[in-house]
Amino acid sequence: MRAAFVLYENMTALDLIGPYEVLAGHPELTTHFVAERTGPVACDSGAVLHADTTLAELPDPDVIVVPGSGHWRPALENDALIAWLAAAHPTARWTTSVCTGSTLLAAAGLLTGRPATTHWAVRGTLAELGAEVVTDRVVVDGNTITAAGVSAGIDMGLLLARELWGGRMADTIQLAIEYAPETPGDAGSPETADPDLVTTVRALINR
C-alpha cells in the first residue's frame, strides 16, 4: 500500500509528521514524501523536509495525506498540486487532510457538498469553497477524512489506522506513541479560549 505524504512550500510540519509517525511503521505501508519536484521543502516554521518522489511519479497512491499551512492562501494557487489531487483521488483508497489542507481538497473539487472540517479560523473559507463545514475534530465522509487544526492530524492518523488495520492495531500504535494528551491549559479551541486570544489567532492565521 503506497501512501503519499504531500509536501509544498510553507506547509506546517506537524500536520504531516503527526499522521506520518502514526502510520509509517506499519509493514503494509510504503511511504513517499511527494512534491512537485524532489529535494528540500521549507515548512512555515523553518523546518526543512525532503521530497523523495515527484507528483508525476506517483499518480495513483492508495493513501493521500495533505497538510495545511500557516500561509494557506498562497497554497490555494498551487495549480500543479490541486490538479494532482483531483486526478489521484478517484483511485485512492483514502484521501485525507489536516488543518487548512482541506481547503486544497476543496479547491480540487473533492469536498463540494460534503461534510468536512478544517482549522477553526478558516471554516468560512472552506464553506466558500463548497464544503459543508463541520466543527468536529475529525470528519469521515466516504473515503475522505478531514482533520481540524494541526494537532488533530494525530487523531486523524489513529482513526485511519483503525480503518486500515483494525482497532487492536490502532490501539497498539496509540500506546506506542503514548498519545494521551493532558494539556496544562484549556485554550485548545475557540469555545474554551479567552475571546481576546481567539481574535489574535484568527488574525494571524488569516493574514
Catalytic residue ranges: 99
Query: Which residue do the cell numbers 512555515 mark?
Result: 44
